[in-house]
Structure 1
Amino acid sequence: MVTTRKTTVARVMNCTQPYDLGLLSDEDALSLLAISSIDEHNFDKHPSLISAAQSFIEKCDRLPLALIAIGRVLKSRKTDVDEWAKLLDSVIWSSPYEKDILLALKLSYYDLPLHLKQLFAHCCLFPKDYVFNKNGLVLLWMAEGFLNQTTTNMSMERLGGEYFQELYSRSFFQHSTGNEFEYTMHDLMNDLAISVVGDFFFTLNDKMDVNGRNEAFEKFRHFSVLGQRGARYINRNLEELYRCGYLRTFLAAVTNKSVVIVWDKVLEKLLPQLQFLRVLSLTRRSIMYVPISIGRFKHLRYLNFSKTDIEHVPEVVSDLYNLQSLLVSECYKLVRLPLSFAKLINLRHLDMSNTPKLMKTPLGIGRLTSLQTLSKVFIEEDDNGFNVSDLKSLLNLESQLSISGLDKVTDPQQAFDANLQGKKGLTNLDMNWSSVFDDSRDPKIEDGVFERLRVPNKLNKLNILNYGGTKFPSWFADPLFDRLKKLCLKGCMNCTDFQTNSFPILEYLETTDMLVLEKWSNHDGDKTTVSFPRLREIRIKDCPKLGEVSTGLIKSLEVLVLKIGIVWY
């Protein structure tokens, strides 16, 4: 099923009989406004508001988005008839140049506090239908200085998250279809953002007509180019863009392979002119290197080279002492980061996810105590390499962390010093040992190391790969370790017994390539009680000696997959 506001889209989709939803009926529109403004399904308890409500419905042309937005504004006025009347008589409605629908949305914009106005207006840099991640948007706001505050101890990221939720609750943002973690703006909200920003923002995308435009480049502070039309404009007007010397934001994401920006000229000639940049984002496969001139951008807070073909990040990046976010995710050719990482004292987010060739952790990362995002680390035997105890001071880590090379940890005290349990913001953790099981590995040592690597109690997902010890840590059976939703055990070749607590919210359990595993039980051993109350899926693969399962009743189970050798049950 495809929904659209344009009949031309229906024709392109070869729809034989499009269904026109039409406008809301007066009754439905009145009910939607009541729900949004007074948390009631109608105005029966507040008859004095009905006349004003009907006027708002007329001005909003019975458009749900406009009604909800106006409803959120009216909610702050409660049921004060005079306040509703003042809003209805606002001079905003008298503009002869805009439709009532856009005016209704503009009224909701003017009702925002100042700090939310600038956050929303900044989103004009995104084209219509652009899908964005909440956390990624907050990092941009942070880099622009919109989240600096001194009245609370709340982190900028958390403050930005709360601001985002406020804008979302007022319908300035909406969920993207199919992914609960992604968002978009309604086309009309995008129009609203463009209408309120003035001359300091300039966006080039496939839905903008740039023919014959004579831009005041010197005024621009925020610039984005997305799509093939924007790419052509860059190619034709590169020298004109040299006049944008005071840009604070440069965002570029051109994905159409048929149009190639002359990136070598952009990187070598344009970027050196932009000494005041705070935000630089270049995400395009045809970009193969990071220019050395980037080391002069002392104001830079946000640097994004994700989804490019760069092979290394040059040493000069470590001179960007104001840098807060360095994003290089999905750089499949990346093999090296700067060695002098310790100089990036303000770094808060280092996203290296999906970089399979990057297998070395820069020295000094353990001293960057503001780090919240650190995708992965690699433990080394060399004294000059990264040690697991270097994680000790990184107490602000959040979301996901992958630790590889745990087989190189030979001192359980170093594992204890890593203080994984103290990193309460972590939700997903991968713990990886080597896939090579040779005489250099001592199962007893690995038992002791894993026991001391106690993870946060509130962890949601835990993946254990190629652990060489003979038993799992005692904290697996600790009732306080109770927030786990997904547990995967793979290649744990020496474990014969798997004993856990009854993980009250565990939904997925997988054991793979555990060749000597004989028994799986929960800590109470009672086969008649209900355990794992939310466990929906169990996958047991290549565990040929597993002969006893004493977990109690699992009534929530929906999927059970057993594989022994090549036989599936």
Structure 2
Amino acid sequence: MADFFVFDIAETLLEKLASYVSEEASRAYDVYEDLQGIKDTLSIVKGVLLDAEEKKEQKHGLREWLMQIQNVCFDAEDVLDGFECHNLRKQVVKASGSTGMKVGHFFSSSNSLVFRLRMARQIKHVRCRLDKIAADGNKFGLERISVDHRLVQRREMTYSHIDASGVMGRDNDREEIIKLLMQPHPHGDGDGDKSVCVIPIVGLGGMGKTTLAKLVFNDKRIDELFQLKMWVCVSDDFDIRQIIIKIINCASASTSAPSIALAHHESINNLDIEQLQSQLRHKLSGLTYLLVLDDIWNDDRAKWIELNDLIKVGAVGSKILVTTRSDSIASMVGTVPSYVLEGLSVENCLSLFVKWAFKEGEEKKYPNLVDIGKEMVKKCQGVPLAVRTLGSSLFLNFDLERWEFVRDHEIWNLNQKKDDILPALKLSYDQMPSYLRQCFAYFSLFPKDFGHIGSHFVSLWGSFGLLRSPSGSQKVENIARQYIAELHSRSFLEDFVDFGHVYYFKVHDLVHDLASYVAKEEFLVVDSRTRNIPKQVRHLSVVENDSLSHALFPKSRSVRTIYFPMFGVGLDSEALMDTWIARYKYLRVLHLSDSSFETLPNSIAKLEHLRALNLANNCKIKRLPHSICKLQNLQVLSLRGCMELQTLPKGLGMLMSLRKFYITTKQSILSEDEFARLRNLHTLSFEYCDNLKFLFKVAQVSSLEVLIVQSCGSLESLPLHILPKLESLFVKRCERLNLSFNSESPIQKLRMKLLHLEHFPRQQILPQWIEGATNTLQTLFIVNFHSLEMLPEWLTTMTHVKMLHIVNCPRLLYFPSDMNRLSALEDLDIDGCPELCRKCQPLSGEYWSSIAHIKRVSFGEKKEGKLLFQTQTWIRLGLRD
């Protein structure tokens, strides 16, 4: 059954209640006594909630009681948020200055009496409900349980490429697969049969099929066998068109410069299927290729034959490596017998467990715990994912009773069906702090194999108040990063890539299944199979365009999230938008990217609780109602890719809570005063704003930490001098921008940690203002500087730089002297710089001695070119908030 998050919800509500009870406003509105009563009752109830969650399956009626508590807490939170909305409005009126009369009329302050009466009535109703539910709970005989909120120690983040040294017990499997790839096609490759050899790897979920395929794919012998390597993750949806696009993109990334491949990737989605298959044949024709199709679920043979017919145009010797959980699918696609991946031996499982449960060598201090670990890994049935996750959950925990509790837990005794969630995963999940479990459930809103960007969850978790700082002073971005780091340290995330302020990851299919399992009472993914939206659902994710109709929504009233996570899938019905606005007045997240409606109704202002509004990539919308500026709780507003948007709405300065603002507009001049009033603005993005010559000249945007400027063809300057807190700057394809701005002397001191400069073909030297970030810069990307001839000597003074990527700078011949001074540098990638790459070759290159200390070094290798292509794509995805 689905999980509950009542304890953490109650704790959050108590914090809000404490602040409201202490405020004089509660007495002014005549609600002090009722608020105090709710707080007292909830404090008593909170003490038994953890015991209730433990016993909910054993005691009849306890699940329903927990559901009632959870619902009344949500309703109380909605009421309290009403106070926040009212207070924010009063702040806007106060800050409006000379326009006070206009703003006062805008918010109709004459309604204060009506507001007070309404709020008093709602709070009294909540108190009565809670008192009754609390009294009903006495019959269950629940005990008070304290909770431990300690965070596990976090491991160092890793890159997504496979680290062969960290994989246990798969050397023989790798050699066997490589042998199969080296063999000629047993039934083809002759003049009469052009079919491609297909080798299936089959095994249970979490067994390591993808890991094995990665080991093979990255083996240097494969580079000698095949002219072209392509990796495509198929997962649940076997969409021929999307698979073809992925194959073409992979082929382009392998054979082209990264920037060319990226531009190709951006345009290919507009091609029809006839054009796509023509491009596919062009890319593959005459080349020996290895194509990995990872995680196939499709059992429709007709679809497989259709795809196979399209891709068998390569040279003799081309191979396809398929991973799947299904024996029948493996038999359907394979041209040779399936390679059945077995579980790890007990010895290898124990080695893997020890690696994740202890720091290196620490296990020698705790032989008793290692013995218990050996008993536990036997129950994992050789599944590496289960072993790794279980070990991670016990990392730095040396309490004997805790280990014995995990070993003896009754969940191990459940009958395990083929597609069940592994007990080890559920156990590891149960050991998470409650706040982390609540955040984890939101992964269920996204499709399997979805590439996640950290900023997604800053917005999503932040919109529901889940990012709480113990000290009250931490930024939500940092809290979200800590949560994600902890999930990663517990092995719930994989393919983690860290670019500083931008980080990318995925979740394993079984982990996604677990998120769906624990979230299913309140989270729903809407597709063509969905027949109705249950009334208790609070979070909706829409993944298919043709899945929406009014008939789905007859009873639901509790929805707080509507999310369109897929590229190309959006809303085209203005009537349905009107229905949502009228029905779901407590919406917190409205994510309508890739939609195609022409107007946003004035009634959007009724969603006064809204925290995130995403209208990105709407190709039709031309204007926004000025009423959107009444959304004082709004933290995220994305207009990115709205290519027909004429102007921004008037009154943006009234969006007092706005933290992230993504803009595409035809407007030529920005209102500096409006932006200066956005005191909480953290991230600001301008993309395809072709008419903008200047962002700001005078007005200081004092809180801004992230600035993204991309494809703004008329832009002439950037105002770094009025951005005192800027930490990340991303600038790409701004043809008229003179990078030598801010050339004042002495050089302005900057706080920048990440700098990405791309496509400045006439720039011969790096701008000197970068030197102002000497004490802070950690990540530096220089891409497509075709005239760059030298790197400045001051570059070696930037001793905090950890990642340096220099790509497509063909005239760059020299490193500055003393490159060995960059002691913090961990990742150096030089690609598309032929002469410089030659001088950096291991042992023989003249620069090798000064860069040999760097952990990860790559020079023009195809696989690293592909990684860079992915890097740029992921950074672009990071803009899709």
TM superposition score normalised by structure 2: 0.49
Deviation at 1:399, TM superposition (A): 5.7
* Contact 1:339 1:362 survives alignment (8 Å): no
Aligned pair partner of 1:87 in 398, 406, 417: 406
Distance 2:765 2:358 in 1: 59
| Aligned ranges 1:373-412 → 2 under 5 Å | 373-376=683-686, 387-390=696-699, 392-398=700-706, 400-401=708-709, 407=716
Root-mean-square deviation over aligned CA pairs: 4.6
Deviation at 1:323, TM superposition (A): 0.3
Aligned pair partner of 2:675 in 357, 365, 369: 365
Partner SS, residue 303 of structure 1: strand
Partner of residue 203, structure 1: 525
Partner of residue 579, structure 2: 269
Distance 1:7 1:537 in 2: 42
Aligned CA distance change for structure 1 residues 44 and 131 (closer, same or farther; 3 Å) = same
1:317 maps onto 2:628 in alignment: yes
* Contact 1:537 1:558 survives alignment (8 Å): yes
Distance 2:830 2:498 in 1: 22
Partner of residue 516, structure 2: 194
Partner of residue 249, structure 1: 561
Distance 2:401 2:623 in 1: 63
Distance 1:82 1:311 in 2: 63
Deviation at 1:157, TM superposition (A): 1.5
* Contact 1:350 1:373 survives alignment (8 Å): yes
Deviation at 1:276, TM superposition (A): 0.6
1:425 maps onto 2:718 in alignment: no
Deviation at 1:241, TM superposition (A): 0.8
Q: Residue type of the partner of 2:625? A: P
Partner SS, residue 422 of structure 2: helix
Q: Deviations over 1:157-200 (max 9, x none)?
A: 21111111101111222227999943222222222222223522
Deviation at 1:407, TM superposition (A): 4.6
282-291 vs 453-462, greater mean Cα deviation: 453-462
Considering Cα pairs closer than 8 Å and 6+ residues apart, tell me whether 1 or 2 has the greater RCO: 2
Partner SS, residue 460 of structure 1: strand
Deviation at 1:277, TM superposition (A): 0.1
* Contact 1:419 1:453 survives alignment (8 Å): no
| Aligned ranges 1:50-69 → 2 under 5 Å | 51-69=371-389
1:134 maps onto 2:436 in alignment: no
TM superposition score normalised by structure 1: 0.73
Distance 2:742 2:356 in 1: 57
Partner of residue 806, structure 2: 508
Aligned CA distance change for structure 1 residues 12 and 365 (closer, same or farther; 3 Å) = farther
Distance 2:791 2:362 in 1: 57
Q: Deviations over 1:296-338 (max 9, x none)?
A: 1000001112232233333221111100011233333334321
Q: Deviations over 1:47-90 (max 9, x none)?
A: 53455334322332221111112112233532x44432222222
Partner of residue 548, structure 1: none
* Contact 1:434 1:466 survives alignment (8 Å): no
Deviation at 1:267, TM superposition (A): 1.4
Deviation at 1:343, TM superposition (A): 0.6
Distance 1:63 1:521 in 2: 49
Q: Residue type of the partner of 2:806? A: Y
Aligned pair partner of 1:26 in 346, 349, 355: 346
Distance 2:474 2:686 in 1: 26
Distance 1:293 1:405 in 2: 35
Distance 1:496 1:163 in 2: 43
1:6 maps onto 2:326 in alignment: yes
* Contact 2:449 2:508 survives alignment (8 Å): yes
158-167 vs 470-479, greater mean Cα deviation: 470-479
Aligned CA distance change for structure 1 residues 93 and 479 (closer, same or farther; 3 Å) = closer
Partner of residue 300, structure 1: 610
Aligned CA distance change for structure 1 residues 528 and 223 (closer, same or farther; 3 Å) = closer
Aligned pair partner of 2:542 in 208, 214, 225: 225
Q: Residue type of the partner of 1:89? A: D
Deviation at 1:226, TM superposition (A): 1.2
Partner SS, residue 323 of structure 1: coil
Distance 2:742 2:555 in 1: 63
* Contact 1:531 1:554 survives alignment (8 Å): no
Q: Which has the higher strand share?
A: 1
Q: Residue type of the partner of 1:239? A: A
In structure 2, stretches of 5+ residues that fail to align are 1-291, 295-322, 823-827, 835-845, 852-857, 861-881
Distance 2:514 2:783 in 1: 47
Deviation at 1:397, TM superposition (A): 1.7
Distance 1:478 1:261 in 2: 46
Aligned pair partner of 1:342 in 644, 650, 653: 653
Partner of residue 153, structure 1: 473
Partner SS, residue 634 of structure 2: coil
Aligned CA distance change for structure 1 residues 452 and 407 (closer, same or farther; 3 Å) = farther
Partner SS, residue 389 of structure 1: coil
Partner SS, residue 48 of structure 1: helix
Q: Residue type of the partner of 2:437? A: K
* Contact 2:750 2:772 survives alignment (8 Å): no
1:239 maps onto 2:551 in alignment: yes
Q: Residue type of the partner of 2:579? A: K
Distance 1:362 1:132 in 2: 34
Distance 2:652 2:416 in 1: 53
Q: Deviations over 1:94-148 (max 9, x none)?
A: 5568788532211111111111010012222223333321221221000011114
Distance 2:497 2:473 in 1: 35
Partner of residue 536, structure 1: 830
Aligned CA distance change for structure 1 residues 11 and 368 (closer, same or farther; 3 Å) = farther
Q: Deviations over 1:406-437 (max 9, x none)?
A: 6589xxxxx68x334x33412434695848x9
* Contact 1:429 1:463 survives alignment (8 Å): yes
Q: Which has the higher helix share?
A: 2
Q: Residue type of the partner of 1:330? A: G
Partner SS, residue 591 of structure 2: strand
Deviation at 1:511, TM superposition (A): 7.6
Partner of residue 441, structure 1: none
Q: Residue type of the partner of 2:408? A: D
Distance 1:261 1:400 in 2: 27
Q: Residue type of the partner of 1:159? A: I
Q: Residue type of the partner of 2:606? A: R
1:122 maps onto 2:433 in alignment: no
Distance 1:153 1:199 in 2: 33
Distance 1:67 1:498 in 2: 47
Distance 1:15 1:300 in 2: 54
